[in-house]
Structure 1
């Protein structure tokens, strides 16, 4: 498994745990890294994803809600919700990560941790977000 993929997976686990321990980010991160040692670059990448996702949380949640047709954010399962948040953060704020990579990695996480339909569900919402953030260029007439 690549370092960035492992970092995303660990970031997802941390974000999921934070759902049950809101406001305990620093404590949870310290405990998590003590219990799950990782290569320094994996830990740094996961930390940056977690902190960025949390920092931009309200904006990310609005973006997801606006693009999840017929789904309120509260109705989206916790795993899928946090996968969407993580990938939306990458699409919104991480120009160093190609859009297709962010979306494909989210789909893989959804297949691994979600239900049978999670990959397609996550893909559909993230593709809408991608189109909203960067509309396709029109060909000159």
Structure 2
């Protein structure tokens, strides 16, 4: 090796300071953990407080918004039947035949669309699709997208109309 050539060992890249995750990144992380917690609740009917405690002890929650995680978990589990009623008639099969991951994603999406008006409808749909891609079956994200899109058209009619008007 000539004197001009150097290896990465000789000149390591300067260390970057770890950036704090953005608010949207923290919320995405919260949704991912909330999905897993809701799934656990659906599968074994453990108490929500027990699941929440387990997650705060066992999961690295440093990159998530812990309060948002808690709100999602508490909100979805306490309103599950109401949330199911919002999208059940949009399904092409009985609720009981949904994949448990799809059900958990749809419940989270329905919660954000109906209860969290500060979350834009497009964000709620996109986050649901990304969760389905990451945790669901191969094509489940397409199914989730279709259901959440139809639900948004019902629950966020004014927001969708205003967005379309602004884009003209």
TM-score by length of 1: 0.89
User: For structure 1, which runs of at least 5 residues remain unmatched after alignment?
Assistant: none
Alignment of 1:33-112 (within 5 A): 33-39=56-62, 42-68=65-91, 70-112=92-134
User: For structure 2, which runs of at least 5 residues remain unmatched after alignment?
Assistant: 1-20
The CA distance in 1 between the partners of 2:79 and 2:62, in whole Å, is 26
Supply the RMSD in Å over aligned alpha carbons: 2.0
The CA distance in 2 between the partners of 1:38 and 1:49, in whole Å, is 14
CA drift at 1:133: 1.5
Alignment partner of 1:24 out of 34, 42, 47: 47
The CA distance in 2 between the partners of 1:96 and 1:133, in whole Å, is 13
The CA distance in 1 between the partners of 2:37 and 2:79, in whole Å, is 16
Rg larger for: 2
Confirm or deny: 8 A CA contact 1:64 1:73 kept in the other structure. Answer: no
The CA distance in 2 between the partners of 1:113 and 1:20, in whole Å, is 15
SS of residue matched to 2:65? helix
Alignment partner of 1:117 out of 115, 139, 147: 139
Larger fraction in helix? 1
CA drift at 1:41: 5.5
Distance 1:23 1:113, change over 3 A: closer
SS of residue matched to 1:38? coil
